[in-house]
Amino acid sequence: MAREDRPGDPGANLPSVLVVHGPNLNLLGEREPEVYGRTTLKDIDEHLIALGRELGMAVETFQSNSEGAIVDRIQAARGKIHALIINPAAYTHTSVAIRDVILAIGAPCIEVHLSNVYKREPMRHHSTIADIVVGRIMGFGAESYTLALRAAARITSGATRA
Ligand code: DQA
């Protein structure tokens, strides 16, 4: 049933955004806090859902350590979301499968990183999705996601042309 056919559904008619977190991001808060900060993934997700409500967007979040599970989740969102926010984590630098599924679903996509990958090892400088996303936000820690959600709000409202 289409969202607009579900009266009373808090997500009805709202633009929907899927936020995908890649491998090891479940360990945020404990993992290399000097690089990634002390905010946990649960805190990030709760904040994004609350901010989504404020901005008039339905936000769903998903984390997996497995490339196939990430591809499956994005495939499942095909035709159902208005924007995708993704931090592919280590898969940023290697995954053709994630690039392909982003192209397959066709929703505008924003790439997020907590750290500024260009201040880090050269292997982190390459992204398999950099040229197919609307934009990339990195280096602001957990705030990178907040900025991405605000950008998604502008994109889904038509204020920013993809
Ligand atoms: C990261 C950067 C990647 O190079 C790394 O593999 C991660 C996190 C970031 O958010 O800064 O796991 O995507």
d(CA 160, CA 76): 26
How far is Cα 143 from Cα 146, in angstroms, rounded to an integer?
5
- Closest residue by Cα to atom 3, ligand 1, is 89
Alpha carbons 43 and 48: distance in angstroms, whole number: 9
Distance CA 80, CA 59 (A): 12
Query: Residue 94 has what DSSP assignment?
Result: T
What pTM was computed for the model? 0.92
What does the alpha-carbon distance between residue 77 and residue 143 come to, in Å, rounded to a whole number?
A: 25
CA 93 to ligand 1: nearest atom: 4
Please tell me if the CB atom of residue 65 comes closer than 6 angstroms to any atom of ligand 1: no
Measured distance CA(151)–CA(35) in Å, rounded = 24
Decide whether any atom of ligand 1 lies within 6 Å of the 117 Cβ: yes
Q: Which residues are catalytic?
A: 36, 113
Domains and CATH numbers, the chain: 13-157 (3.40.50.9100)
User: Ligand 1, closest atom to CA 89?
Assistant: 13
pLDDT in tens, the chain (162 residues): 344 434 445 556 899 999 999 999 999 999 999 999 899 999 999 999 999 999 999 999 999 999 999 999 999 999 999 999 999 999 999 999 999 999 999 999 999 999 999 999 999 999 999 999 999 999 999 999 999 999 999 999 987 655
